[in-house]
């Protein structure tokens, strides 16, 4: 891996990034993943987006890593929350999307890196009986409006645990009453593609069957529910997208390289 700071280019008084390496990972508990030593395996990229951190406490190794830390924990202790680490200080940090219920759960944090917005999102799960599907749909619409505003200003990428698949290739099982597989959730993701947003992994791997999450309870159940969507103006700037086989969570990290 190249040096974290090699890709930075100073323009005037601002810091911009030419080549950007990002990783997004639902860690299923920041303290738990850190105790396993797995977090250290990804502390080498330009931007690291963590979901489901479940804590307000930043581990010492992260504090000492040299990254700028932007965290948005949930109000409810031990629940949800997102954290973004960047190797340059963001020009601005935006916590939330203006949807009260989602913001109380610490679901979205955005960093402005000068010539790029990077959005870290932990989408709600519709739940096994779909009791939160209505909220998921409302959240999706709020995210869409939020992204539209950001992308009108500069290139934007949103990465995270979307808790939903695009199509049948993205799941080892198929039941449209399952959370993440419902028509409502899939329709919104594909609606974003129709608006010009790019599924970064699928753009480079059009035929691959790869999953980012696997069930601890049902060994045959796995899905690709962690995504990076890039705004239309970044379509030609996606250099690499890979699922990293780093163990420790029920999710695998997703790696993305952009030339911006």
pLDDT in tens, 14-31: 445 578 999 999 999 999
**Model pLDDT, residue 18:** 75
Rounded distance between C-alpha atoms, residue 60 and residue 190, angstroms? 40
In a domain, 3, yes or no: no
When comparing pLDDT for 17 and 123, which is higher? Answer: 123
In DSSP terms, 56 is beta-bridged to: none
192 is a domain residue: yes
Q: Which of 161, 170, 199, 226 is catalytic?
A: 161
Q: Is 233 a catalytic residue?
A: no
The single residue listed with the structure tokens 């974290």 is: 4
Element (H, E) at 103: helix 100-104
Helix (H) or strand (E) holding 184: helix 183-194
pLDDT over threshold 80, residue 10: no
d(CA 119, CA 147): 9
Residue 260 pLDDT class (50, 70, 90 cuts):
confident
Query: Is residue 136 one of the residues assigned to a domain?
Result: yes
Q: Quote the number of domains for the chain.
A: 1
Q: Could you tell me if residue 189 is inside a domain? A: yes
Q: Is residue 96 part of a domain?
A: yes
Range of the domain at 77: 8-259
What is the DSSP-derived secondary structure letter of residue 87? S
Q: Is residue 27 part of a domain?
A: yes
Per-residue model confidence as pLDDT tens digits over 37-62: 999 999 999 999 999 999 999 999 99
The per-type count for the chain, helices as H runs and strands as E runs, is: 6, 16
Domain of 211, CATH number, reads 3.60.10.10
Angle (CA) 25 26 31, round 5°:
105
- Is residue 2, in this structure, part of any structural domain at all? no
Do the domain assignments include residue 1? no
Query: Percentage of the chain with pLDDT > 90?
Result: 92
């Amino acid at each position: 891996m190249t040096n974290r700071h090699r890709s930075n280019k100073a323009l005037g008084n601002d810091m911009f990034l030419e080549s950007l390496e990002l990783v997004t990972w639902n860690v299923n508990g920041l303290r738990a993943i850190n105790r396993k030593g797995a977090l250290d395996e990804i502390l080498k990229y330009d931007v690291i987006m963590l979901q489901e951190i479940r804590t307000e406490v930043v581990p010492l190794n992260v504090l000492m890593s040299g990254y700028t830390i932007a965290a948005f924990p949930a109000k409810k202790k031990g629940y949800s929350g997102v954290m973004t680490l960047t190797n340059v200080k963001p020009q601005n940090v935006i916590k939330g999307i203006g949807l009260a219920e989602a913001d109380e759960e610490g679901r979205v944090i955005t960093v402005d890196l000068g010539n790029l917005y990077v959005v870290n999102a932990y989408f709600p799960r519709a739940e096994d009986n779909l009791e939160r599907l209505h909220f998921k749909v409302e959240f999706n619409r709020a995210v869409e409006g939020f992204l539209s505003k950001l992308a009108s200003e500069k290139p934007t990428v949103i990465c995270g645990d979307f808790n939903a698949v695009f199509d049948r290739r993205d799941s080892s099982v198929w039941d449209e009453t399952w959370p993440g597989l419902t028509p409502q959730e899939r329709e919104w993701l594909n609606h974003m593609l129709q608006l010009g947003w790019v599924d970064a992994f699928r753009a480079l791997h059009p035929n691959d069957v790869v999953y980012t999450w696997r069930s601890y309870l049902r060994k045959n159940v796995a899905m690709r529910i962690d995504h990076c969507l890039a705004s239309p103006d970044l379509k030609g700037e996606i250099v690499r997208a890979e699922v990293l086989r780093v163990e420790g969570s029920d999710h695998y990290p997703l790696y993305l390289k952009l030339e911006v």
